[in-house]
């Protein structure tokens, strides 16, 4: 593993931990040249389905986009990074378990909304208001009423 600070190719593993759910391995490493420490994560390389956008375009699944949209909805909300990571893991697991080569973007949006609803009601309403593109205030009001129940 190359050191991200100096580029030296020899690093030593100082500590190895398996995640609680066993989905990835976390390793603390130390560079042999500059002695700086850094963390690496190992997870299986799996092929996610392609995403079919509303206009018919097909794009590759990008974890960063999922993280970005969830973080935007959860901005300034009392939800820990661990909770967000767990929700993303559940979404990705569901995507893989579908066993499909292509998934409509709407399906991912629905999975995100389900997870946000469990995590934080305000974040759920934020995401749904953009995702569902409400035409009038009554549609938005019905969503808020649904969350209150």
For residue 131, what are the contacts with CB-CB under 8 A and spacing of at least 6? 109, 112, 113
> Once rounded to an integer, what is the mean pLDDT over residues 7-36?
93
pLDDT digits (tens, 9 = 90+) for 47-100: 889 999 989 999 999 999 999 999 999 999 999 999 999 999 999 999 998 889
The per-residue pLDDT for 23 is 81
pLDDT digits (tens, 9 = 90+) for 137-149: 777 787 788 878 7
The per-residue pLDDT for 145 is 81
For residue 100, what are the contacts with CB-CB under 8 A and spacing of at least 6? 49
Cα 146 from Cα 75, distance rounded (Å): 22
pLDDT digits (tens, 9 = 90+) for 14-27: 999 998 888 889 99
Query: Comparing C-alpha atoms, which of 103, 100, 128 is closest to residue 114?
Result: 128
The per-residue pLDDT for 103 is 95
The per-residue pLDDT for 124 is 87
Domain residues of the chain, as ranges? 11-42, 50-148
| Buried residues in 91-130 as b, exposed as e (16+ CB within 10 A) | bbeebeeeeeeebeeebbbebbbebbbebbebbbbbbbee
pLDDT digits (tens, 9 = 90+) for 103-114: 999 899 999 999
For residue 141, what are the contacts with CB-CB under 8 A and spacing of at least 6? none
Place of tokens 């993280």: 67
């Amino acid at each position: 593993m190359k050191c991200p600070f100096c580029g030296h190719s020899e690093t030593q593993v100082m500590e190895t931990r398996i995640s609680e759910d066993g989905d990835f391995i976390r390793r603390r490493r130390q560079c042999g040249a500059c002695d700086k420490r850094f963390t690496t994560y190992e997870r299986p390389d799996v092929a996610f389905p392609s995403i079919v956008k509303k206009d018919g375009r097909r794009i590759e699944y990008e974890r960063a986009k999922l993280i970005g949209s969830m973080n935007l909805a959860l901005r300034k909300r009392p939800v820990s990074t661990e909770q967000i990571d767990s929700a993303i893991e559940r979404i990705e697991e569901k995507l893989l378990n579908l066993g499909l080569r292509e998934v409509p973007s709407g399906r991912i949006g629905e999975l995100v909304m389900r997870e946000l609803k469990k995590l934080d009601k305000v974040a759920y309403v934020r995401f749904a208001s953009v995702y569902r593109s409400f035409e009038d205030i009554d549609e938005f009001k019905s969503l808020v009423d649904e969350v209150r129940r």
